[in-house]
Chains A and B, each alone.
Chain A
């Protein structure tokens, strides 16, 4: 067990070193896009939804931007890392060590969680400058952390599947980018669910981002009634991670 934890920590450190050296693009990915999306949604939303409580609308957009950031980090960024490791031969360095494949995946996930924590904290801080006032209580903050972990687990599972099955780096990279952003745009995150076309409403029910956004918005307003969304996310995380780990093989047949 101690060995497993040490392995996960080493894989995490290897990837963390990279962030230290290339901090700019990482911050850009985790913060700037979602923050810009928040500003865009606020600008467009204030015209489209006149009469709706401004605080509620801003909190929804902030929740959307947090989920956007998580989706980008989990699917696009982790997917990119996994693909890069696989197609540049770095994965072979790990695969030829006495290291379990799951330790490698959890090390990458831990790295993603660190990024997610950084991105979410930054967005919460930046949102204060835009006049967004959250009512985050201590229990709600704990729930927010659980939500972040579950959303990251879902995204990591999806990234693992893509990175294991992609036939080329570009194919995998396109898929992770499309899903990372697509899961946010298709889900009712920046707008009310009823404003979506019926087909997309059904589709959005299958996406983790839908439940994550709703639950994150609730925790930001200090509510704790997110059990249903947590359970759905936990189930999705279990499914995606199981499929992800099964897709990932150290040894080829």
Chain B
């Protein structure tokens, strides 16, 4: 099993967390022994320890119902932890949720927009609710619309917009006012590939401007391309946490062979994994394969080994095929 990487960040000293600094890194979010137990006894999160450094992007992966959203909702103060502690830039989210929320831009997974509000109204009014003055809110809304390529739609009512545009507004509500921390729950779910890439660029710009980001996603590629570190949550536990290189380095099988099984022409592509390149070469020779592809381990391999199931978006694509 891959264990949470970066022992530097496993430091759990109250004196250290008070300063929001762990060994030279300024910490945006610190979660310690986070447990969420519901009244029916279900444990959605079981002792999660995680740190998000300032300016870093963390992607949280995991199957449906693993506890990703529960974790994020505890960070955003929507859900009270049963035990454990979360701080956002040193502010305890349980003791002072309003102050913690002042530092966050949040895009919830299932949030509805006001259909009859115009795009500009949405951004301006929510910027003011974040504490900006009327003039600052207007300027922040204009900048956000520019960043999100929504200037042409500024005066359109939300009901006339596409799903992709609505998603961009939701992200805009999180981005407006440049909060230092962005918490995004599956920000690109339901978007087409082009819209998804546009969203990634927006997030990269936000990070370039100094934001720290914690996001959950169902897309491997998103996690690989956007994040500095990746956490995998399964059955409420953080079962892996580290950079992509750290995660793949811990795999038992680091090489992947993809080929057609000649004994069964109607079968799908076969994928097999090997610990060493020598073992892989031996298998190619044994099977006398003439057409095949070789790849190093990917995040998907890590996920499959840890969670033991196909990733949701891959499974969906498989079903469509």
Query: Footprint of B on A, CB under 8 Å?
Result: 3, 6-7, 10-11, 13-14, 17-18, 20-22, 88-90, 92-100, 250-253
Contacts and interface: CB of A to CB of B under 8 A. Distances in A.
A97 B78 contact: no
A85 to B, nearest CB: 8
B62 to A, nearest CB: 21
21 contacts: A3-B131, A6-B128, A10-B129, A14-B114, A14-B117, A14-B121, A18-B117, A94-B129, A96-B76, A96-B77, A96-B108, A96-B111, A97-B126, A98-B99, A98-B101, A98-B129, A251-B78, A251-B79, A252-B79, A253-B39, A253-B80
B130 A98 contact: yes
B294 interface: no
Interface string B114-144: 1011100100011011110000000000000
A93 B111 contact: yes
7 closest A-B pairs by CB: A21-B116, A88-B112, A96-B106, A89-B112, A98-B102, A98-B101, A89-B111
Contact of B129 (A17, A99, A250): A99
B79 A13 contact: no
A14 B125 CA distance: 7
Given A251-B79, A252-B78, A18 B116 contact: yes
Contact of B114 (A17, A97, A100, A253): A17
B101 A97 contact: yes
Contact of B98 (A17, A93, A100): A100
B125 A10 contact: yes
| Secondary structure type dominating chain A contacts | helix
Given A96-B101, A251-B78, 7 more contacts: A14-B121, A93-B108, A96-B104, A96-B111, A97-B126, A99-B98, A100-B98
Interface string B79-119: 11000000000000000011101101010101111101110
A215 B109 CA distance: 48
Given A18-B117, A250-B97, A10 B108 contact: no
Interface in B3-47: 39
B321 to A, nearest CB: 32
B102 A90 contact: no
B81 to A, nearest CB: 10
Contact of A252 (B80, B102, B114, B157): B80
B239 to A, nearest CB: 25
Contacts of A20: 116
Contacts of B117: 14, 17-18
A6 B125 CA distance: 10
A22 B131 CA distance: 29
Given A93-B108, A100-B98, A18 B114 contact: yes
B173 interface: yes
A90 B111 contact: yes
Contacts of B157: 21
A93 B109 CA distance: 11
B97 A251 contact: yes
Nearest to A14: B125
A98 B130 CA distance: 6
Contacts of A10: 125, 128-129
Contacts of B118: 17
Nearest to A100: B98
A96 B39 CA distance: 23
A150 to B, nearest CB: 28
Contacts of A7: 129
A11 B108 CA distance: 19
A89 B73 CA distance: 14
B128 to A, nearest CB: 5
A10 B133 CA distance: 12
A90 B112 contact: yes
Nearest to A9: B128
Nearest to A253: B80
Contacts of A14: 114, 117, 121, 125
A99 B79 CA distance: 16
Interface in B274-288: none
A184 to B, nearest CB: 29
A197 B113 CA distance: 47
A16 B261 CA distance: 65
Nearest to A95: B78
A107 B129 CA distance: 12
A51 to B, nearest CB: 51
Nearest to A252: B79
Nearest to A107: B129
B114 A251 contact: no
Contact of A92 (B39, B110, B126, B128): B110
Contacts of A6: 128
B126 A93 contact: yes
A253 B37 CA distance: 9
B216 to A, nearest CB: 15
Contacts of A99: 98, 101, 129
Nearest to B104: A96
Contacts of B110: 89, 92
Interface centre among B102, B108, B112, by most chain A C-beta atoms within 10 angstroms, is B112
Contacts of A253: 39, 80
B223 to A, nearest CB: 23
